[in-house]
Amino acid sequence: MSSYKDKKVITIGIVSELTGLSERKIRYYEERKLIYPDRSKGGTRKYSFLDVERLLDIANKMEDGMQTFEIRKMEQKQMKKQEVRERMLRGQLNAAFNIRK
């Protein structure tokens, strides 16, 4: 079951109000592949509460002097680490319960 935080229901105007970021800056972060909103049938961007938190984190990193490519690279490393952790955990569970694929 997904959390309400995952649901992409918030428009860019509301996200702008919540974060203090301009709509232009939010679109820029999307162009730089740092945020991935869904689109409605009419093309309206839709964001989740997790996206709002992510935008605030991105803005803080940018304020600290990081570049968008550095943020993207750091996040890719974190995702790889998470994937490795998940594979290790699956392996441990499979070994513990003698599960074979």
Q: What is the bridge-based pairing of β-strands 45-47 and 10-11?
A: antiparallel
pTM for the model:
0.77
**Together in a domain, 42 and 79:** no
**Together in a domain, 17 and 60:** yes
- pLDDT in tens for each of the 101 residues of the chain? 678 899 999 999 999 999 999 999 999 999 999 999 999 999 999 999 999 999 999 999 999 999 999 999 999 999 899 888 888 888 888 888 877 65
Q: What is the CATH number of the domain that holds 41?
A: 1.10.1660.10
Domain that holds residue 30: 1-66
**Together in a domain, 45 and 9:** yes
**Together in a domain, 75 and 59:** no
